[in-house]
Structure 1
Amino acid sequence: MASSTHDEANTNGDSSQSKDEDPFIAFGIDFGTTYSGIAWAISTRPANVSMITSWDSAKYHCSDKEKTPSIISYEENGKMLWGYSVSDKKSSIEWSKLCLLEEDDIPNDVSHSTQLQAAQAALKQQKKSVVDVISDYLRQLWKHSIINIRRAIGGQLVDLCRFKVVATIPAIWPIYAQIRMHEAIEKAGILSTRNAGQTILEFLPEPEAAALATLRGISTYNQANMEIGDHFVVCDAGGGTVDIITYTVVELSPMKVKESVKGDGKLCGATFLDERFLEILREKLDQISPDTWKSLEETGALGRIMNNDWENGIKPQFRNTDQHWMIQIPVKGPKRTHDEFRFSDIKFDVKDVQKIFKPIVAEIKHLVDNQVKAIKDKYNKEPKFVVLVGGFGRQPFLFTEMQDALNRRNGPVGKIEVLQSQGAEPISRMSYGVKCDRVPWNAKDHDIRDKEWSDIDQAYKAVNQTSWFVRIGETIPVGDFISKGFYTDLTHSISSQSTELIYSTSATPPKRCDETVKKLYNLHWSTVPKFSKLTTWVNSKGRTIRRFCFDTKMTSNGVTLDFEIVYKGQVVASKNIGIDYGHCGALASNCN
């Protein structure tokens, strides 16, 4: 539990002592600038509200780990869309959380941001107050969560349980913003009267909640030699904002903390990485054709690039190593000709990605450095840890840059250690991917042993190649999926099709199927595309070639990996694989 002060609000209902003995469900509401979610746990032990902050001894039933975008849309027909159901962002409202602040309390960098200005304009256009918009969004999120909980444990048990709700808020928020958030939660119906008794609401600073969860989750108390009086800086790096706050340990078991120095924050979250990626991508595309960008937007290909190549590719994997990424850009012609599948590869090398990451990471390092200086000035001692939490906080480049900066500042004496939250998601102890052939040949990038002439492409191709979903040491996101797009060219009909899944125990998974790459499973398709209905293109020799495109998806539930092959929206092959880390398979390079 935390020793900081929390605002508590009770709704109508019986507050008798006997009710405290009833089973209860504890909810954690994280309404974020860009993404939001609700976690829950059920317990039958006597409850007081403060225990919810550490989730002590509760029987975990944490579902809804997947967050959904903090976006809502009011349609002309009166229908309300929210989260992932919003497809047209032109009529939607995003970043509403920042609008809870008065103009004078909004930092300069935030007040001039296009995101905040767009949110304010959308509220004005819709003639909605920010409290009403947030309450509408939270109402939908709450309903979705309650439906899922009732499915998981049964409606009768839910009806018997009292509700305890903890909502996280930015550490640097003024009290009036917290009051407005309370009003939004109440209007959303979350505090409505229930037969089981009163619903209790508390607010908890976001960095504090994240720090308690992180320190407990990674079991660092004993190993890290944490002592009463130690300070640790929490850097909560989310999608929009980055909040920094420092706590002092006042008790170890159970862990209690109090705020050490005044927190800080800035609008420098992961969303700004997305914007910089799009800027560089557009610069590269404009060098090919000024119409390419518009074509990608109109066909929806830009969204696929953002999801597959950036969000689940470059962004979480970037470590500042000498690596590059090739992005295949489908350029669609005005007619359904072979131009529809003429691909131009766009290369992002390490310098390109550095341009994306370094300015944003530099701002975060500056925030942390100011916090460390404030602790030194006030207590004449350094913090023991800097704890990185939040979605962006799990990025490996941010971790190494932060640790390097602190090492340069302090040297070998008085080292401040960086801890990085991995949430509830497992860390991959192997690399998992797909074997692929006929990759465009590049003498610089490929092994000469893999060079083969392709009659179809009338060009040299690299065979025996790999494409990795997740690498050793990376987080396997629970509930989320990683998807990669592939295509196959044919000159004649086929009766069967398969996709080979591979794995590697090498610290750095190779680009080709060498001796470290082994076969995981061969996925046989249940149906194959009809040859006569495939899209055609014509090679340089005038030969008609037929092509079909498909996606390979990997999803983790924390214990197993689910692989699916999706063709035209239909799953044509799937396999649930329980991971055996000691398994040794046949060499993938020898498996046909």
Structure 2
Amino acid sequence: MDIRMEDIRVIVAIDFGTTNSGFAFVHKENQNDPNAIDINKIWPGDESGLNAKTPTVLQYDSKYKNVTAWGARALDQDKPWLPPQLNYKQAIKDYLTEMRKLIEKRLTTWNNMVKFPDQVRIVLTIPAEWPPHTTGVMRECAYKAGLLSKLSSNNLEFTTEPEAAALHCLNVVKTHNLKSGDSFCVVDCGGGTVDITIRKLLEKDVLGEITERIGYPCGSTFVDKEFLKFIGGKVGLHAFSELKTNHYNQIQYLLQEFFFRRIKRKFNGKQSEWKTIKLNLLKYCSKLQDYVTGDRKTEMENAGWTVKIDFPSVKEMFDPVVNKILEMISDQLKASKEKCSAIFLVGGFSESSYLVEKVKENFRFQVDSIGVPTSAISAVVQGGLYYGLNVNTVKTRVLKWTFGIEVAREWVSGKDKKTRRSSDGLIYTFECLAKRGSKVDVNEPFTKIFYPVRANQEVLAFKIYCTKSADGKFCDDQGMKYVKTLKINIKDVHNGRNRPIEFSLTFGQLECKAAAKNNRTGHLYKEISFVMEE
């Protein structure tokens, strides 16, 4: 039995990120009160109450059977990669299980009358670049983690991180004097990926999408990598690599306790306000001296294992990442055919005053307003809550893929390649239904009429494919991906080939529906759903 929306009492949004994750919840009755949103900030190993996210990290026992720590507490582990004893589904399930335990604990403390999970709508925000089978995998993992009472439960919703970030920005558009019809750019600066889209504010606070989302791995962790590269240049890259392999926890300690607190969070790009910092490496990486050899070791011993970090060095850590983000914003503004009224920066890296100032410096003459919304670091999880309460908020989308089906026709000598001729004298080609870059209304169908290839044909298979290319000729072209097959039975063979069948693709919130019906009678043969790939 499906759960009715009127039975839902609490919305829980889970931001399952590649670097950090978090969750928040709100009672449905208090949905119009921003102060009623509860963003979790108490985590295992981090009870400071300052952080809206915790690392997406697990620590297992020696047999990889049981989770011994997760989140910030798991950063003490020595190995950062997924061991061969584990597969990614198991790791996702285990992480969501730990998340679910904490959510249940928080909900019980907050309101022990809420029945979990039957009175809770779960919204999972996922990275936009994840492949098309992602939601199926995540649904399975969520079910096994105890977030759902049954696999097919309808109290689970999905939305992408960039879309959730844009929904959060709806809370601030009016304070920036945006009105219906205005467009704004959302720059979601996460730890791993930066996603940028331009959205349009429509009537009744719904959103349209103006440009195709672009994303690139240039989030804040790449500034961390530049810092580690700088340290490696001082002690020797091989020595630093050995430390990372054998004592990963010390690398994390150096990043969290020194780089983040003393440099990354405070750097604003103003040389007059910068004082050179002395870093005692052995204070944070005591095992480092075991791997440094030769002249490098002599130099470091003479310096007391101290490294001086001056302004130009720090600027060189930030600039490759910041410049890539500026390039991406510029590309999106050029791609939009409409004036962009505002730029909103959200995500963890939006806390960087240097990044914000560089964006303002570069685009202040193109865009009227540039800012960082309140609670920008938790924008995705708050946008997830908004989506869970208002699933019809997104009105239009820009297709990220070209969709079509495989069709057959008679092979023609002199026109078609011999290698393309099938054993039964046919040639199979790609028939485009919806082209990448098209702006479509949510639940807008794309339809075409097709006919049987043979007069006595009783079964018809619509094989759906997608490609990043705006065009495609054959379903085995490079970059072409098989999605799903809709197979129907057509028994009215007395009409021969004169049997028009209307095939349609309808693009919903995250799902796409494929349907085939008799064009003469309107009879629906069959309908299937699949998840669109971002």
Helix, strand or coil at the partner of 1:36: strand
Determine the C-alpha separation between the residues in 2 that align with 1:264 and 1:236.
Answer: 11
> How far off its partner does 1:384 sit?
1.0
Could you tell me which amino acid in structure 2 is paired with residue 320 of structure 1?
G
Whether 2:349 is the aligned partner of 1:349: answer no
Q: Root-mean-square deviation (CA), in Å?
A: 3.7
Correspondent of 1:308 among 240, 257, 262: 257
Which residue, 390, 396, 414 being the options, matches 2:347? Answer: 390
CA offset digits 1:247-279 (Å, max 9, x no partner) = 11112x5x2112112101011111111111011
Say if 1:291 and 1:188 are closer, same or farther in 2 by CA, change over 3 A. closer
For 1:514-553, list aligned pairs within 5 A: none
CA contact (8 A) 2:75 2:252 kept: no
Give the alignment of 1:281-360 within 5 angstroms: 281-285=231-235, 303-322=252-271, 323-329=274-280, 331=282, 345-360=306-321
Are 2:25 and 2:38, in contact at CA under 8 Å, matched by a contact in 1?
yes
Which of 69, 75, 96 does residue 55 from structure 2 map onto? 69
Task: Report the Cα offset of residue 303 of structure 1.
Answer: 4.3
Alpha-carbon distance, 1:417 to partner: 2.8
Choose the corresponding residue for 2:326, options 365, 369, 373: 365
Q: Which of 147, 157, 160 does residue 202 from structure 1 map onto? A: 157
2-structure distance, mates of 1:73, 1:261: 40
Identity of matched residues, %? 27
Identify which of 93, 100, 106 aligns with 1:135. 93
* Larger RCO: 1 or 2 (CA < 8 Å, sep 6+): 2
**Residue 32 of structure 2 is aligned to residue 56 of structure 1:** yes
Cα drift, residue 293 of structure 1: 9.2
Instruction: State the 1:169 CA deviation.
Output: 2.4
Q: Pick the aligned partner of 2:66 from 79, 87, 92.
A: 79
- Contact map agreement 2:162 2:196 (CA 8 A) in 1: yes
Q: Is the 8 A contact 2:12 2:26 kept in 1?
A: yes
The equivalences for 1:108-507 within 5 A come to 122=83, 125-128=84-87, 130-153=88-111, 155-158=112-115, 162-192=119-149, 200-216=155-171, 219-221=172-174, 223-251=175-203, 253=204, 255-285=205-235, 303-322=252-271, 323-329=274-280, 331=282, 345-375=306-336, 379=337, 381-407=338-364, 411=365, 414-423=366-375
**In 1, Cα distance between equivalents of 2:250 and 2:124:** 37
- CA change 1:298–1:92 in 2 (3 A) is closer
User: What SS is found at the alignment partner of 2:141?
Assistant: helix
- Give the aligned residue type for 1:201: L
Q: 1:345 to 1:185 in 2, by over 3 A?
A: same
Cα gap change, 1:164/1:294 in structure 2, threshold over 3 Å: closer, same or farther? closer
Local SS of the residue matching 1:37:
strand
Which consecutive residues of structure 2, in runs of 5 or more, have no partner in the other structure? 42-51, 290-299, 379-534
Q: Deviations over 1:142-186 (max 9, x none)?
A: 111211221233x23455971112111234555333333233223
**Distance in 2 (alpha carbons) for counterparts of 1:44 and 1:397:** 40
Distance in 2 of aligned mates of 1:314 and 1:215: 32
- Alpha-carbon distance in 2 for matches of 1:205, 1:299: 31
Label 1:296 to 1:310 Cα distance change in 2 as closer, same or farther (>3 A): farther
Alignment partners' CA distance in 2, 1:37 and 1:295: 26
**Helix, strand or coil: the match of 2:113?**
helix
Question: What is the TM-score when the length of structure 2 is the normalising length?
Answer: 0.58
Higher deviation after alignment, 301-310 or 257-266 = 301-310
Distance 1:397 1:190, change over 3 A: same
Q: What one-letter code is carried by the residue in structure 2 that aligns with 1:398?
A: L
Q: What CA distance in whole angstroms lies between the structure 2 residues aligned with 1:63 and 1:308? A: 24
* Alpha-carbon distance in 2 for matches of 1:296, 1:207: 33
1:12-33 superposed Cα distances (whole Å, 9 cap, x missing partner): 4553xxx71x561111110001
Contact 1:34 1:239 in 2 (8 A): yes
CA distance in 1, matches of 2:78, 2:240: 21
Q: 1:421/1:316 Cα in 2 relative to 1: closer, same or farther (>3 Å)? A: farther
The 1:170/1:258 distance shift into structure 2, 3 A limit, reads farther
- SS of structure 1 residue aligned to 2:176: coil
What is the match of residue 24 of structure 2?
39
Equivalent residue of 2:340, what SS? coil
Quick one: distance in 2 between partners of 1:185 and 1:250? 33
TM-score with structure 1 setting the length: 0.53
